[in-house]
Chain A
Amino acid sequence: MLTTILVASVLLGGAYALMAMGLTLQYGVARIMNLASGETLMGAAFGSFCLFTALQIGPLLSLVLIVPLAFAINWAIYRWLLSPLVRRAKNQGMLEVDSILATFGLLFVIEGAMLAGFGGNYYSYSFLAQPVTLLGHSFGLNRVVAFGVAALVALGLYFGLNRTRYGTAIRAVAVDPVAAGLVAIDVPRAAAFAFALGSALTACGGSLLSMFLTFNASMGVVFTMKALIIVIMGGVGDPRGAVIAAFLLALVETLVAALVDPGLTLAATYLLFVLTLLFRPQGLMGRRA
């Protein structure tokens, strides 16, 4: 029982980690708290669903289409919708309020588009649904594959950020945008890139989740909430913290769903949130200032 829960939560945590890393990049580098993150996730899930049912293109293949598309769309969103807010904000507080409002509006636009296209019904499709045995328990192959892909993407991101020139530039913007500008880093471009990359990661997580999850058009909020809480638990702007927190959240959720009631997973998420706020508001990895 315990191993089942542990393995299941690790498998689930992979997709959560992608989404949380995306959000933490967006907040840490582009300084945008993206409340429409969950809608990006659902959008990608619906995208994979459509490609699979209509054109028999499997979700792993459709990633190649959906992820770059999410990148491009969100680059445009940042350029046309969000950077005007960055320019008009007189201080960080104003930008925070404006970006919260703008992405909150965006949330309803994307959700509204999905509702118009798909209604309120639940969707799922069957892909790699055969069981595999791990540590003596059987799990859906789709979950295992999704986790594998998530792990690969996360590793790629880690190397990209830490071992490449542009990755270093992005991290520099996260630490201090003014100083980064002084050493000839194109800060607005790095912010747009980070925002787009963040959404691409989220979309990747969405496509992977769609392989084994039943979803509908209004589920975005719950996922945004999970990702936000993971980001806070991990320490804002810290991708390593986000990964650890993602697995922790997945574990608590899986435990609650298995031992108490599947209807209480959001309550479990909030419980973690409140504990973090009360005891470690700087996040698991953050140092107390």
Chain B
Amino acid sequence: MSDTAILSISGLSKAFGGLLAVNQISFDVHQGEIVGLLGPNGSGKTTLLNMVSGALPPTQGRVRLRGRELTGLPPHQIARAGVSRSFQLVRVLPSLTALENVMVGAVFGPDAVWGAEAEAIARALLERVGLSGRERQRPEAMTYIDQKRIELARALAADPQVLLLDEWLAGLNPTELQTGIALIESLHAEGRSILMVEHVMDAIRSLCDRCVVMNAGAKLAEGTPEQVLSNHDVIAAYLGDENA
């Protein structure tokens, strides 16, 4: 556990009845780093994020943000401490306008801004994710990628210390994917710390500084994208043993 760790996860486990969905996972996310969380379907990635964001209490282990204990806190306190997230199945607020959707992040986040200031933050972020001019639309009438953009903007509006993305790039077409990757790259450039669950290899290669690979709840490998993607065990986990 180095001193520059902004998010540190140690010995984190989650059991659903008899199923050990996450098993003794430990790793750090450092300031300004994008860490990719990889693994086959059902390997426990979302469950891990859920424990970090407070959606699920861990069965064991700890989560700390800059040394501050987050373990077992309710999600709203974790959000106020500076952890924001997106959801694997996009979650937008249907009865709020796009602008209001994004304002939510700013209004209830760590800085708790209100009024014109929150609106300004939300406007700037909508522009940044490519939705300027659509402030008054409702997300229901928007495409899937636009809803994902709103969700990202809402997470960013809190100005989080750590951003958790759960397959934010999944389901985009090739052009949208390029835009998406560029957007996350720009977050990287401004020094945001991000923990992202991702399956898209191009994105992992171009964005991640480091990757953690999970399989059946346990940590299989950790290292640079090149290292983990050429790792024998990782290939075996993704493709089945006989291909390795």
Contact = CB atoms under 8 A, between A and B. Distances in A.
Q: Do A and B bind each other?
A: yes
Contacts of B16: 287, 289
A289 B16 CA distance: 6
4 contacts: A287-B16, A287-B17, A289-B16, A289-B56
Interface string A272-289: 000000000000000101
Interface residues of A, number: 2
Interface string B43-84: 000000000000010000000000000000000000000000
A287 B17 CA distance: 6
A289 B56 CA distance: 8
Interface residues of B, number: 3
Interface string A248-289: 000000000000000000000000000000000000000101
Contacts of A287: 16-17
A90 to B, nearest CB: 8
Nearest to A91: B94
A84 to B, nearest CB: 21
Contacts of B17: 287
Interface in B5-43: 16-17
B72 to A, nearest CB: 14
A287 B21 CA distance: 15
A287 B14 CA distance: 13
B51 to A, nearest CB: 12
Contacts of A289: 16, 56
B150 to A, nearest CB: 18
Q: 4 smallest A-B Cβ distances: which pairs?
A: A287-B17, A289-B16, A289-B56, A287-B16
A101 to B, nearest CB: 18
B139 to A, nearest CB: 13
Nearest to B59: A288
B4 to A, nearest CB: 35
A287 B56 CA distance: 14
Nearest to A287: B17
A118 B111 CA distance: 63
Contacts of B56: 289
B140 to A, nearest CB: 9
A188 B167 CA distance: 33
A289 B59 CA distance: 10
Interface string A128-172: 000000000000000000000000000000000000000000000
